[in-house]
Amino acid sequence: MRTKNIAVYTLATLLLFCFAFTKATKQDKDPQNAGLVLPAGFTASKIIENTGRPRHIVVTKSGEIYVKLFRLLNGKGILLLSDDDKDGKYTVKSSFGNYAGTGIAIKNGYLYASSDEEVFRYKLDGNEHVIDPDHPEKIITGLLAGKQHQTKSIVLDNDNNIYVNIGAKLNSCQEKDRALHSPGIPGCPLLDSMGGIWKFKADRLNQSYSQGERYATGLRNVMGLDWNQTNNTLYVMQHGRDNLHSSWPELYTDKQSAELPAECMYKIQKGDNAGWPYIYYDQIQHKKILAPEYGGDGKIEGNKNYIDPIVAFPGHMAPNGLLFYTGNLFPEKYKNGAFIAFHGSWNRSPEPQEGYYVAFVPFKNGMPSGKWEVFANGFSGLTEVISPGQAQHRPCGLAQGPDGSLYVTDDAKGSIFKISYNR
């Protein structure tokens, strides 16, 4: 009896130990929700890893995924991912396009993709597969690309137009970029060809500046942008300026420079001017402040005619993706609201970095209807990021699947996350 008891006890202990050990190992390999922290009811998984530098993505009606790569992978810049056995893990089905870049979109039977100077389109068949991957139509060419803010994000409206971000090649249009006390160039000459959103026809070949239209200006660099289907309007997320302290140490402390200026969401109407490089938006004073390069001191307000942001986030978080949620999977509060992928900051040092998450803003009638909140956190794998190189993953592109799930790319480690909701 006693021996039996000991045997049972030993077996139980052994089983418990094995269970605990297995559980720990499993968690290390495949942590719950792929390591993400989500609101109640949401789940997440990593659907693929090691895809290089995935930037923006788009999901087809059947759930396949086109990925634009920032750096060529085996000589190709676009991946088609599929999950043919429906096990939730995607594999690379094909790759094409000999150019790297960021922008990708599907509209009216075509796949659109951008390099840093051009935009191409590929005709799709009934399964939304590219018919001729080696011979896309070049619809836009000759766009300027500097050594920073060179990527071209794209979005299409419902009237056969495509909108392209052309980022400014300077931080604040200084005579010496990012240098100490360097003044702004009067009448910043970049703005005729950069620092704004340009509009082109979606189906015309070889368009450049003279065939396009500067739709909005005074936007330093936009990576996340989306077309809001509820009011047929363009919305953009601007990457705000850097280096307030390092260029103007007498005017801004380290702490102020970490928080300022706001990363702004703008609702864009044709002809709008958001004011870069002459002003920046201070989310603490709720004012458009004259840039120090153009005579500002951190307090003087700039020209009031520049548009105001509709959401002002803390500084430097780098909004790389914007998506209005039109699905039915997530709870009602998410319908038509905005998801923003924050790549995470670098220009907050010596303060801790910020971002590295997907945020959400509820919307009603095309305007924010509540405060922004962190939706998906934990990409960095750290409680505090001091330098961006420490972050495990960095959110970049967003897309909505046919079932209403949300996809997030990570261009640091090449993972793609799928976020779902259990109804």
Using CB under 8 A, pick the residue from 33, 129, 256, 346 that binds other proteins: 346
Of 270, 280, 391, 263, nearest to 322 by C-alpha is: 263
The answer to the question of residue 251 lying near other proteins (CB under 8 A) is no
Using CB under 8 A, pick the residue from 148, 211, 256, 392 that binds other proteins: 148
Which is closer to other proteins, CB of 126 or CB of 350? Answer: 350
Which is closer to other proteins, CB of 249 or CB of 295? Answer: 249
Evaluate whether 167 touches 195 at the Cβ level (below 8 Å). yes
**Helix, strand or coil for residue 69?**
strand
Evaluate whether 166 touches 157 at the Cβ level (below 8 Å). no
Question: At its nearest, how many Å lie between other proteins and the CB of residue 238?
Answer: 17
> Which of these segments, 34-42, 121-129, 190-198, 346-354, binds other proteins (CB under 8 A)?
346-354
Cα 362 to its chain centre, rounded Å, is: 18
> Which of these segments, 145-153, 220-228, 267-275, 298-306, binds other proteins (CB under 8 A)?
145-153
The answer to the question of residue 45 lying near other proteins (CB under 8 A) is no
Which is closer to other proteins, CB of 243 or CB of 283? Answer: 243
d(CA 151, CA 117): 8
- Rule CB under 8 A: which of 348-367 touch other proteins? 349-350
The answer to the question of residue 387 lying near other proteins (CB under 8 A) is yes
Question: At its nearest, how many Å lie between other proteins and the CB of residue 116?
Answer: 10
The three-state DSSP-derived secondary structure of 164-229 is: EEECCCCCCCECCCCCCCCCECCCCHHHHCCCEEEEEECCCCCECCCCCEEEEECCCCEEEEEEEC
Q: What are phi and psi of 160, to 5 degrees?
A: 70, 30
The answer to the question of residue 245 lying near other proteins (CB under 8 A) is yes
275, 278, 281, 282 alpha-carbon torsion, rounded to 10°: -170
Residues of this chain that interact with other proteins (CB under 8 A) are: 70-71, 147-148, 150, 176-180, 182, 243, 245-246, 346-347, 349-350, 386-390, 394, 411-412
